[in-house]
Amino acid sequence: MALPWTARGVLVIAGGILVHLSLGTHYTFGNISPYIVSYIRERSKPSDLNYEQAMWIYALAQSFHGIAMYVGGFIDRKIGPSWTTLLGGALVSFGVGLTYFTIMQSFYAVLITYGLMFGIGVGVAYAPPLAAAMRWFPNRKGLVSGCIVGGFGFGAFVFNPIQTAFVNPDNLSPNTTDPDDPGNLYFDQKSVLDRTPYCFIMLGVVYFSMQIIGSCMVRNPPVESEDESGEREKLIVKEGEEETKKPVDERSAGVTMGPGKMIRTRAFWTLWCTYLFNTQTQVLISTLYKAFGQTFIADDLFLALVGSFSSVCNALGRVMWGYFADRFSYKKTMLVICAVNTFFMLTLKLTDRAGEAMFLIWVCGVFLSFSGNFALFPTATARSFGQEYIGMNYGLMFTATMMSAITGSFLANALADSIGWLGLFVLCALFSAAAFVLTLTFNVKTPAGKNI
């Protein structure tokens, strides 16, 4: 006997969450970066690598994440979400595993495996679970996308402590500086450096195991029998009764656009630029929160836990903001996100005076605020341009994060010495303020005349 429609849809969501949990280890870069940089400085090349330069690993992964997401949407239409998800996951896991070898060679080799390959794999595997789940629950796009990308945000909660326990089980603190880089601390302890390459083998095996299981659960809705169609109609009416009594999603009815038409609209570019500005914070804090914390907190385990708790906020925030977008609108919810993010970034530098507790709360607050971007923009894309091409359309939308990774890394490398931590944080706050203004101009309506 086949499972009810709702139960099958929930399994698809669960599979998507499991896959995104492994893909979301993208956010562990801020935790693992000190180990990577310290190892390369001591045992590989270049010996003068610093944390700002290492941001290019994250930037490369983020950039190709954006590029490959469009490709993933195209592949999904050809071979289906399950195989596409597994293909992307395999690239991620293989790249991570190969980093065991490349970290012993040079920083530039790590760029290929932990940056390029990781990013392409994440991009290919990211959208198919989202698109499939939204097809099962079309009137709950915000909540469904929030749940799945919540798995992406939750990845660091699971894997930050695993990485730290594996590489630094004695909770040693970084203990060496560079005369040319006095603001940063690095590890030179043999026990930490010896374990660093082996961490990537362990992570690659665990990731791929999760991806195999999750991808098997990701399926598009089947062609319905008469009974299933009736069940489906009842479900949609129940979910969307405040908006419609018909089994369609009123919010995207009649506005289906392919990528070619979409990029010629003002709405696309308003959303794209908002995404670009609002994810500058994500690039900076995801990669450098630990490097900043090390300047006044001498506890590596605590800093790893900060990353873990902030990832919980990253995950729960995606669900929360997705729910608010369903309950109120994309526009109202995004205005709140921009305002909250601006506040936390303007005041983040104060944590070096207030100590560990404020640092934990503020980093969690930053992750809570920027997490909403990754729940709201898939929803806004689907509502504005329709469901049919959501994988490809959101792939193009996501290229904004590619540009934010490049510009964020460039600005951090170019300006860190001259404007310091405070200047970098204020710059991110200004970007979020600009996103707030752009959101005020966004004016896409539902057929009923409401903001999407």
For the entire predicted model, the pTM comes to: 0.76
Task: Inform me whether the pLDDT recorded for 227 exceeds 80.
Answer: no
**Angle value at C-alpha 44, between 190 and 202, nearest 5 degrees:** 65
Spell out the domain ranges in the chain.
Answer: 8-222+229-441
What integer pLDDT is reported at residue 232 of this predicted model?
Answer: 52
Q: What is the pLDDT of residue 318?
A: 84
Q: Can you give the pLDDT at residue 450?
A: 76
pLDDT score for 240: 43
And the tokens for 110?
A: 């790590």
Query: CA nearest 13: which of 209, 125, 148, 210?
Result: 148
pLDDT in tens, 118-134: 999 999 999 899 989 98
Mean pLDDT of 25-43: 94
Query: Which comes out higher in pLDDT, residue 157 or 369?
Result: 369
Model confidence pLDDT, tens digit, residues 296-343: 998 988 998 998 899 889 888 888 998 899 899 999 999 999 999 999
CATH architecture observed for domain 8-222+229-441: Up-down Bundle (1.20)
What is the reported pLDDT for 2? 63
pLDDT bucket at 344, cuts 50 / 70 / 90: very high
Would you say 9 and 147 are in contact if contact means Cβ atoms under 8 Å apart?
A: no
What number is the average pLDDT over the span 171-193?
87
**What pLDDT does 447 receive?**
67
Q: What is the pLDDT of residue 247?
A: 38
Confidence of residue 154 (pLDDT cuts 50, 70, 90): confident
Cis peptide before 222 (omega within 30 of 0): no
Closest CA to 432 of 361, 320, 340: 340
Q: What is the mean pLDDT of the segment spanning 128-157?
A: 86
Q: What is the dihedral of CA 140, 144, 60, 349, to 10 degrees?
A: 90
> What secondary structure does DSSP assign to 158-177, as a single string?
HHHHHHHHHH-TT-PPP-EE
Structural contact between residues 245 and 108, judged by C-beta atoms closer than 8 angstroms: no
pLDDT digits (tens, 9 = 90+) for 58-111: 989 988 987 898 888 889 989 999 999 999 999 999 999 999 999 999 999 999
pLDDT at 1: 52
pLDDT at 274 over 70: yes
Radius of gyration of the chain (CA): 22
Q: Which two tokens stand for residue 224?
A: 């319905």
Query: Distance between the two ends of the chain, CA-based, in angstroms?
Result: 39
- Residue 177 phi/psi, 5° resolution? -125, 170
How does pLDDT run across 39-56, given as a tens digit for each residue? 999 999 999 999 989 999
Q: Mean pLDDT for the chain?
A: 88
> Which pLDDT score is estimated for 86?
97
Q: Looking at residue 102, what is its pLDDT?
A: 98
Give residue 250's pLDDT: 38
pLDDT value at position 70?
83
CA distance 57 to 88: 18
Letter string b/e over residues 182-208, b meaning 16 or more CB atoms within 10 A of that residue's CB = ebbbbbebeebbebbbebbebbbebbb
pLDDT of residue 100: 98
Grade residue 367 by pLDDT with cuts at 50, 70 and 90.
very high
Backbone angles phi, psi at 181, to 5 degrees: -145, 60
Q: What three-state secondary structure class fits 254?
A: coil
Handedness of CA 249, 83, 396, 25 (dihedral sign): positive
For the chain, the helix, strand and coil percentages under 3-state DSSP, each to the nearest 5: 80, 0, 20
Residue 394 · residue 377 · CB < 8 Å: yes
CB 80 within 8 A of CB 132: no
Euclidean distance between CA atoms 74 and 58, whole angstroms = 25
> Tell me, what's the pLDDT at 224?
57
Residues linked to residue 186 through DSSP beta bridges, in sequence order: 176
C-alpha 317/C-alpha 379 separation (Å) is 15
DSSP-derived letter for residue 103 is T
